[in-house]
């Protein structure tokens, strides 16, 4: 909304959803008592101001405080002048006006809460307008419309800070309760089994609230391995969701049937089956149909719509994991962040927060840098994008060509999974998997190399 914009619908159509005097008083409190800044700095956001010039002044306060420079008329004036914003806010006279408008800083938190409340109401109107525009799009499928609406509502909720501070005694009580539960029910404390014993030994299992980033060489089978793990989780009656942005869902399903029935993919696609194969395929289709897996092949998913959809699903079913295939294909539009490194970093952080907030294990497929393609022993810096992408993940796994040990020859039918980072384990190492010739599946070869045990 522009500085002079008004709500154009609803019972408050003639009310401007901001208060000029309160916004100026909030800024003035800091100028007459810089210590008051810390009373609201932990929750207040500059973009809650309606007027852009007030946002600029608050950004200067934040900068000066971070750099441990005293906040006063002179330092604020110098910084605004350096940023070529001083004339636009009204010059030095406007700063002195901010001081004169408020007699005391005692009410700074009350002013901040009023500004926050008005900002929320403005954003609610903007969200309602965006939702109304979606509703008029007759070509949008109903499920996409619902996901977009829930995503918009969630983004509105996320714009408000949460007070999640807890005393240590409460947190330690949670540690004790979890330990007691693990002692009495050790089977519940174990991580999810991937279906590959050596990989489970390396990872210690997959845990709720964590994110595993699976990357590796092109064509190495990342999507195939990830889907195989998800299928194994579903066979343990652990429900999950698959966001398949790279392939059609029917292609993924054919792969699953091919691996399960040991029938060639081409035969399934073209309908060229031996008489003996048909009942085996039907049996595989029936068995796979019973798995608690939900899958989408839409290409319009964003981290916000994924969060909204998973939130709804967790309310309806006992969802325990999700797969995103893959990170670079997400449709997030990050305003002011055209740099792909910044975009990938923010998306990785958003996905990690989804895993943590919704208590799911999230598997995310990602790409390697060109340097990573050429190196047999992968490193975290080989993960495509900013180094912060790998920081956001709890586990980072590399899948690539076979890396033999002790001078042995590389085997073309083997792939090596290397652990670049394991949040819950003090070991690193690698595991070899065998690609089953002619079928889209891996099997374990009972070889594992661990370091740091």
Q: pLDDT of 190-199, one tens digit each?
A: 789 999 999 9
Which range is least confidently modeled, 68-77, 165-174, 381-390? 165-174
- Are the CB atoms for 292 and 234 separated by under 8 Å? yes
Domains of the chain: 20-158 (1.10.860.10), 193-451 (3.40.50.300)
Query: Distance (Å, rounded) from C-alpha 415 to C-alpha 275?
Result: 34
Which CA distances in Å does 235 have to 195, 238, 452? 9, 7, 32
User: What is the phi-psi region of residue 271: left when phi exceeds 0, alpha when psi lies from -120 to 50, beta otherwise?
Assistant: left
- Are the CB atoms for 399 and 222 separated by under 8 Å? yes
The model carries a pTM of: 0.69
Query: Distance (Å, rounded) from C-alpha 4 to C-alpha 14?
Result: 12
What is the helix (H) or strand (E) element at residue 239, kind and residue range? strand 239-244
pLDDT at position 453, please?
33
Query: Distance (Å, rounded) from C-alpha 379 to C-alpha 382?
Result: 5
Query: Distance (Å, rounded) from C-alpha 26 to C-alpha 33?
Result: 11
Structure tokens at 382: 């080989």
Residue 7 has pLDDT above 50, yes or no: no
Choice between 445 and 329, residue whose per-residue pLDDT is larger? 329
pLDDT at position 66, please?
85
Grade residue 332 by pLDDT with cuts at 50, 70 and 90: confident
Query: Distance (Å, rounded) from C-alpha 382 to C-alpha 393?
Result: 14
Q: What is the mean pLDDT of residues 185-214?
A: 87
Q: Find the Cα–Cα–Cα–Cα dihedral 87, 89, 90, 95, rounded to 10°.
A: -110
Q: What is the mean pLDDT of residues 312-341?
A: 83
Grade residue 321 by pLDDT with cuts at 50, 70 and 90: very high
Specify which residues 433 forms β-bridges with. Answer: 415, 444
Structure tokens at 69: 């420079």
Q: What is the mean pLDDT of residues 208-214?
A: 95
Pairing of strands 361-365, 319-325: parallel
pLDDT at position 345, please?
86
pLDDT at position 6, please?
40
């Amino acid at each position: 909304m522009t500085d002079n914009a008004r709500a154009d619908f609803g019972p408050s159509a003639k009310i401007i959803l901001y208060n000029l005097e309160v916004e100026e008083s909030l800024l003035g409190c800091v100028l007459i008592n810089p210590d008051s800044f810390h009373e609201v700095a932990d929750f207040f956001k500059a973009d809650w101001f309606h007027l852009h010039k007030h946002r600029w002044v608050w950004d200067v306060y934040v900068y000066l405080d971070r750099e441990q420079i005293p906040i006063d008329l002179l330092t604020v004036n110098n910084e605004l002048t350096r940023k070529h914003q001083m004339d636009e806010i009204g010059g030095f006279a406007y700063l002195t006006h901010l001081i004169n408008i408020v007699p005391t800083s005692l009410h700074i938190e009350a002013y901040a809460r009023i500004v926050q409340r008005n900002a929320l109401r403005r954003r609610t109107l903007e969200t309602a307008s965006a939702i109304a525009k979606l509703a008029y799009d007759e070509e949008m499928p109903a499920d996409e419309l619902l996901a977009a609406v829930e995503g918009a509502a969630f983004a509105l909720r996320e714009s408000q800070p949460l007070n999640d501070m807890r005393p240590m005694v409460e947190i330690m009580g949670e540690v004790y309760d979890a330990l007691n539960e693990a002692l009495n029910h050790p089977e519940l404390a174990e991580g999810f089994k991937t279906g590959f014993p050596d990989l489970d030994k390396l990872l210690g299992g997959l845990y709720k609230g964590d994110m595993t980033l699976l990357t590796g060489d092109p064509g190495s089978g990342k999507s195939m391995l990830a889907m195989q793990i998800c299928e194994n989780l579903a066979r343990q009656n652990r429900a999950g969701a698959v966001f398949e942005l790279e392939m059609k869902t029917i292609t993924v399903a054919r792969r699953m049937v091919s691996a399960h029935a040991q029938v060639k993919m081409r035969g399934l696609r073209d309908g060229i089956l031996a008489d003996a194969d048909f009942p085996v395929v039907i049996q595989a289709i029936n068995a796979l149909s019973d798995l608690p897996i939900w899958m989408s092949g839409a290409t319009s998913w964003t981290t916000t719509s994924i969060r909204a959809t998973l939130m709804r699903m967790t309310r309806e079913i006992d969802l325990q994991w999700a797969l995103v295939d893959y990170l670079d294909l997400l449709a997030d539009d990050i305003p002011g962040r055209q740099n792909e490194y910044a975009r990938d970093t923010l998306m990785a952080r958003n996905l990690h927060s989804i895993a943590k907030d919704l208590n799911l294990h999230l598997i995310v497929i990602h790409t390697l840098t060109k340097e990573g393609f050429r190196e047999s022993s992968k490193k975290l810096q080989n993960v495509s994008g900013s180094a912060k992408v790998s920081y956001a993940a709890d586990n980072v796994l590399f899948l690539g060509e076979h890396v033999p040990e002790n001078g042995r020859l590389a085997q073309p039918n083997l792939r090596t999974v290397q652990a670049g980072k394991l949040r819950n384990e003090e070991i690193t190492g690698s595991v070899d998997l065998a690609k089953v010739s002619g079928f889209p599946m891996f099997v374990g070869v009972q070889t594992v190399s661990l370091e740091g045990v």
